[in-house]
Amino acid sequence: MATPVVYADLNLARTQGPKHASPLPRPPDACQCPRWHQWALRLGCAGLILLVLSVIGLSVSVQIFIQKTSVQKINKDIQENRTDTTERPTPFQCPRDWHSHQDKCLSFSQASGPWNEGLTDCSAKEATLLLVQDQEELITNHRS
């Protein structure tokens, strides 16, 4: 059994939808804020954006200032080192019977005694006890 097929020709005239004289009603939970609240919200957001951009700009400025200051300090130190090296008219010399090593004068005493006596002896010679700075200096001084 075949089902009959029905054809229809509909001619609908286009009409405009019903006009609403008043705006659509809002749901009861919708916010009914005054217009100035919207402007205050926009102004607050613009202020926050301006504040964030200002903080970023100041941070960049401080970083540049710190780098510039450190570069100037390094240049000053380099210039002072050049001056120091050019002002030294004679090469570094140690007193008689002293050994020169890395801009230090070393005197090796054959006397043995307590540390306090060594300190007193150095003070009398306007010297200090050896302070070893690194492994290389320890090895070099030990061989001498």
Please spell the DSSP secondary structure of 104-122, one letter per residue: EEE--------HHHHHHHH
Residues contacting 68, CB < 8 A, separation 6+: none
pLDDT at 42: 93
pLDDT at 144: 53
CA 81, 82, 88, 94 torsion: positive or negative? Answer: positive
Q: How confident is the model at residue 55 (pLDDT cuts 50, 70, 90)?
A: very high
Q: Can you tell me the distance from the alpha carbon of 12 to that of 6, in angstroms, rounded to the nearest whole number? A: 19
Q: What angle do CA 86, 89, 94 make, to 5 degrees?
A: 120
pLDDT in tens, 115-141: 888 888 888 888 887 777 777 766 665
